[in-house]
Amino acid sequence: MSDKNKGLSKAQEIYLNRSQRARELKAAGKKIIGYPCVYVPLEMLTALDLVPYQTCGDIKEPVTEADRALPHSFCPIMRNCLDCALKGKNDFLDGMATIHSSDPQEKTARVWESYTNYPYFHFIDMPITVRPEALEYFKSQLNDFRKTLEAFTEKKLSTDKLEAAIKSHNQQRALVRELYELTKPSPPLISGTEIVQVVKALTSLPVVEGNDLLTETISEVKNRTDGPEKKSARLLIWSSTLDDTDIMQVFEAKANVVMNESCGGIRAYRGGVKFTADPLEGLADYYLNEITCARTFRQATLGETRKDYARDLQSRFGYLKGIIKEWKINGAVMLLVRYCDPFAFEMPSLKDYFNSLGVPSTYIEYDYTTGALAPLRTRVEAFLETIS
């Protein structure tokens, strides 16, 4: 990694060669643990001096090897992630921490474990509701995770180390939110594409290095004179995983994407872990309640017997109202990765919610390949014509 690069150019360099730093750290004796989903509590890895590395897909990589293990009509992102693993692209990993955040994630984790032989592999089961008993169960799952990590590292997961890790990861969340404040001006001071590069760089670095990168980037962006141009619309994109600059570029050809509500954007950085007597309590609460992925079912009122649709929409999507107002968003795109049921189920209600706020929105489906970019461009341009 060249030292002369700082901020945005460093983020781009890492984005283009994500595994380089992890390989350097491995050569220096660190253990690298892969994770496919942002629901995995990274603080528990950091506290044991393990380096978390998000195993992402690559839309430029045609899926071949994964055909041996996963059906075609299956989450294209999980197929792609597994394909990259089976092609040895993650051969520097010492293990994987996986989680039941969706059924494709669960199925893929089982296949991934049986097709690879990492020294460490753990699967965390995760409830889909936020009920008190679900929180208790999730906490017990994190306790099992702690046990296997301690056995693998032959170290105790001490409360001090865990609280220090929570502090660093909360700092990272605050810095990413600060970065997103810089998309509020018109034109925004940083583009959606640049933020995709920064966030994807963060998920390949130890948290402290990521925080340094963010601090550099924020100060650079605040003082830059070569920021993005003002475009015809200020978009919010709501999706599962939008972590590729070629996809973001399709939107930013004619619009400013000021909020990427996906795992390649703000999703994993909203809120912060509370400090609790037993740190696993705070971790379970944060990861189950605060991360706004469609896989989690939120009832307006626990145990309700009669549906109140408006209150139901508010409990599921209410967090978007403030964003739309503060970021002056005038268009929303619900971007669905084909075969992603949790997000597909939410789309009709989310459309109603955007309508209730008077925000024009459109629903677009694609399959996480380069072949999808041209039709995606046609759909995006057609939508922008209707709102400009």
**Which residues of the chain form contacts with ligand SF4 (CB under 6 A)?**
37-39, 101-102, 105, 240-241, 263, 293, 295
For residues 291 and 171, is the Cβ–Cβ distance under 8 A? no
Least distance CB 228 / ligand SF4 (angstroms)? 26
CA 53 to chain centre: 12
Least distance CB 102 / ligand SF4 (angstroms)? 5
Of 105 and 172, nearer to ligand SF4 (C-beta) is 105
Of 189 and 263, nearer to ligand SF4 (C-beta) is 263
Of 32 and 268, nearer to ligand SF4 (C-beta) is 268
Least distance CB 191 / ligand SF4 (angstroms)? 22
The span from the CA of 297 to the CA of 288, in Å, is 10
Phi, psi of 373 (to 5 degrees): -65, -40
Q: How many CB atoms lie within 10 A of CB 133?
A: 9
The span from the CA of 247 to the CA of 146, in Å, is 37
| Terminal CA-CA length for the chain | 42
Least distance CB 148 / ligand SF4 (angstroms)? 21
Of 103 and 312, nearer to ligand SF4 (C-beta) is 103
For residues 296 and 126, is the Cβ–Cβ distance under 8 A? no
Could you list the beta-strand ranges (E) of the chain: 31-35, 50-54, 95-99, 120-124, 234-239, 256-261, 331-337, 361-366
Of 63 and 263, nearer to ligand SF4 (C-beta) is 263
Least distance CB 364 / ligand SF4 (angstroms)? 16
Least distance CB 351 / ligand SF4 (angstroms)? 19
Q: What are the C-alpha distances in Å from 212 to residues 10, 172, 192, 206, 374?
A: 11, 9, 20, 10, 37
Least distance CB 37 / ligand SF4 (angstroms)? 3
For residues 200 and 56, is the Cβ–Cβ distance under 8 A? yes
Of 99 and 255, nearer to ligand SF4 (C-beta) is 99
For residues 98 and 40, is the Cβ–Cβ distance under 8 A? yes
Of 240 and 361, nearer to ligand SF4 (C-beta) is 240
DSSP code for 65: G
CA 362 to chain centre: 22
Least distance CB 239 / ligand SF4 (angstroms)? 8
For residues 115 and 90, is the Cβ–Cβ distance under 8 A? no
DSSP 263-295: TTTTGGGSS-PPP-SSHHHHHHHIIIII---TT
Of 65 and 103, nearer to ligand SF4 (C-beta) is 103
Least distance CB 358 / ligand SF4 (angstroms)? 27
Of 81 and 233, nearer to ligand SF4 (C-beta) is 81
Of 101 and 211, nearer to ligand SF4 (C-beta) is 101
Compute the half-sphere exposure of residue 351: CA atoms within 13 Å on the CB side of its CA: 11
Least distance CB 128 / ligand SF4 (angstroms)? 11
Q: In what order do the strands lie in the sheet with 95-99?
A: 50-54, 31-35, 95-99, 120-124
CA 300 to chain centre: 25
